Amino acid sequence: MSPFLGPLDSRGRVPVQQQTRIAAFLLSAHGALARQLAIALAMRLRTAWHSELNAQFYRETEIASLLVGATSWVPDVELALLAPSWEAAWVISPVPGIADPIQASIVDLAALGHALHAAIRPAALLPEQAEPTDAFVQALRRIEFESGRLIQAQIVFLKSAELLPVRDAVTAAVESRHAQVRKLWCDMLASLGVHCKEPA
């Protein structure tokens, strides 16, 4: 198993089979997060975090749109087996130990977002020889850049004073989501012959 994508073609591009499966995974994850953020926004929550939810919704939508256009797609029959388990994993559930069901769901949403942006490092999979102007290469690097920005807002919320009374429940939710996302990501990469690196 290799820690990087490839072997690259003569023009330094990631194999289209790898592009397809990685993009499908990331679209599943970020698309689900965008849908969940849209639902939260529709609830018109009267909280200080409402404006940040709106900003995150548009960034997640942008990531999904970027992937659709930047990926060289090919048929992948295994996605019929893989995608349902991914979609099931992104379902938001109220965090145990938090009495307010809306707050409990928002915490799980933030925990999922934190995990997706912290545990998945797509640009780290690119070998040095990858063509920097290739659309897929640029997309993976852009996603990682955006993740660094998005995770800061999630940390602010998850460590906010309003969640201090349920800190243990919040911590458990974040740890659970990280383990779940990490396993799915690593399993998907293993199916492509790529070794899952430990996050920095």
Q: Are 92 and 40 in contact (CB under 8 A)?
A: no
Q: Does pTM surpass 0.85?
A: yes
The answer to the question of residue 10 being in a domain is no
What pLDDT is recorded for position 157?
Answer: 87
The answer to the question of residue 70 being in a domain is yes
Alpha-carbon separation of residue 179 from 47, 57, 76, 200 (angstroms): 29, 24, 26, 15
The answer to the question of residue 104 being in a domain is yes
The answer to the question of residue 3 being in a domain is no
- Domains in the chain: how many in total? 1
Q: How many residues are present in the chain?
A: 200
Element (H, E) at 69: helix 50-70
pLDDT tens for each residue of 23-79: 999 999 999 999 999 988 887 665 666 777 888 999 999 999 999 999 999 999 999
Residue numbers of the domain that contains 127: 16-190
What pLDDT is recorded for position 44?
Answer: 65
The answer to the question of residue 87 being in a domain is yes
Q: How confident is the model at residue 102 (pLDDT cuts 50, 70, 90)?
A: confident
The answer to the question of residue 61 being in a domain is yes
The answer to the question of residue 181 being in a domain is yes
What pLDDT is recorded for position 1?
Answer: 83
Nearest by Cα to 33 from 101, 94, 142, 117: 117
Report the CATH number at residue 32: 1.20.1260
